[in-house]
Structure 1
Amino acid sequence: MSPRPEISPDGAHLHRFSRAERWAHRTTAALMGVCVLTAAFLYIPVLSELVGRRTLVVTVHEWAGIALPVPVLAALGSRALRADLGLLNRFGPHDRRWLAAALRRDKRPSSRPAHKFNAGQKLYASWSAGAALVLLGTGLMMWQTHLVPLQWRVGATFIHDWLALTLGVVLAGHIGMAMADPEARHGMRTGWVARSWARREHPLWEAEALRETGKTPS
């Protein structure tokens, strides 16, 4: 069962993320940043020349990658996180409408119905989680060379490098969209968002929160 939605005493804000979710997001972001930064210093020639201790950079990259799933796994004790993972895993008719409007570049709120997470966020979460798992698996093959044959390691290296590049591009897009939405960043930082923002960006979620708390629209 999902946690009951919370509305601030003044009725102007909705509780979006629990403390466990926010810390899991921050820690995962930090580990991902370390992975991306160390990968850049390992693979981009101009940056590689600046590194005097390449072995240390490789070690940091490896252990940051191994630790990447830990924050989310540790936060699974949070009922709020489990509920949100369930929401991210469900794709409904309103999500298809949201995607169709996005493809038409129709930015009218009425044409982009969304619950707590819109279709774009759901696709990003699913793709990035899958990519992280593949990178973890291929990275282990490259690290523990005695576990798999040479041909497997060659294939793993190819997949790891190109998927990492793709993930870097997708992450840049994610960060860019977050920078363009101060209220979304405020929600991830404090856990609370303005109801006016929720009504505009996630109207189905705001309407459900009002029904469950017995509040009236304002």
Structure 2
Amino acid sequence: MPPPPELVRFTTAERWVHRTTSALMLVAILTAAFLYVPQLAELVGRRRLLVLVHEWSGVLLPGPLLVGLVFRSVRADLRRLDRFGPQDKGWTWRAVRHGTQHAGPADKFNAGQKLYASVIAGATLVMVGTGLILWFPHLAGLDVRTGATFVHDWLALVIGVLVIGHIRMAVKDPTARRGMRTGRVPRDWARQEHELWDEAVTPEDGDRPSAGAR
């Protein structure tokens, strides 16, 4: 059987987890900007509403992934993101110097994507924890609230920079965006950008419909 011209990269469940998480993250970042930048805050004025939207978008951030854990495809990709193989050693440094096409073979997710996912996941948990302390100040002492405020504010800046970088990389790769939008990518792109994943995919995998599977 000849190899399929397209491969299923993401199921429906995976794409919806990504979309809903992205939407919540962008809302949290934008409302934070309007809360902390005086010039932006003056444009809105309704600070209490901004605070409420910011609080709920932040605390709901882990929700889409928790729901997605019901689906086998989401759990499988989480395992891929959590495992660094021999091919990942030095990949990020080579990609920064020479571009992803010359960084060496990659699995379904390259080392840069794995690092980004790990940092964002950890940072999100810290942000939710510190955010809850600020949301319910009576549950902690002044020293704890002061420390939580410091961590929350600076980590928000780090997350904002990382998300902007993530969006910038996505803008530069329309095929990757298509994979997240439709679930499918051309086999040639997979062979070029994720060679180890392409080699591991069978013809049956390539023909499998893009749907969430339990």
TM-score, normalization: structure 2?
A: 0.91
Match of 1:60 among 40, 46, 53: 53
Where do 5+ consecutive residues of structure 2 fail to align? 208-214
Which residue number corresponds to residue 29 of structure 1? 22
Which residue number corresponds to residue 74 of structure 2? 81
Deviation string, structure 1 residues 40-69 (Cα, Å, up to 9, x no partner): 110001001112211111011001111111
CA RMSD, Structure 1 to Structure 2 (Å): 2.1
- Number of aligned residues: 207
Tell me whether 46-55 or 170-179 shows the greater mean CA deviation: 46-55
Pairing 1:8-19 to 2, within 5 Å after superposition: 11-19=4-12
> Contact (CA 8 Å) 2:6, 2:206: kept in 1 or not?
no
Tell me which amino acid in the other structure corresponds to 2:99: K
> Contact (CA 8 Å) 1:186, 1:193: kept in 2 or not?
yes
TM-score, normalization: structure 1?
A: 0.90
Tell me which amino acid in the other structure corresponds to 1:146: H
C-alpha distance in 1, partners of 2:166/2:135?
29
Match of 2:95 among 80, 84, 102: 102
Pairing 1:172-191 to 2, within 5 Å after superposition: 172-191=164-183
C-alpha distance in 2, partners of 1:97/1:12?
31
Which residue number corresponds to residue 210 of structure 2? none
> Contact (CA 8 Å) 2:100, 2:193: kept in 1 or not?
no
Structure 1 residues 153 and 108, CA gap change in structure 2 (3 angstroms):
closer
- Matched-pair identity in %: 58
Deviation string, structure 1 residues 115-145 (Cα, Å, up to 9, x no partner): 0000000000000000000000000011100
Match of 1:139 among 122, 125, 131: 131
Where do 5+ consecutive residues of structure 1 fail to align? 1-6
Between 1 and 2, higher relative CO (CA 8 Å, sep ≥ 6) is seen in: 2
> Contact (CA 8 Å) 1:62, 1:139: kept in 2 or not?
yes
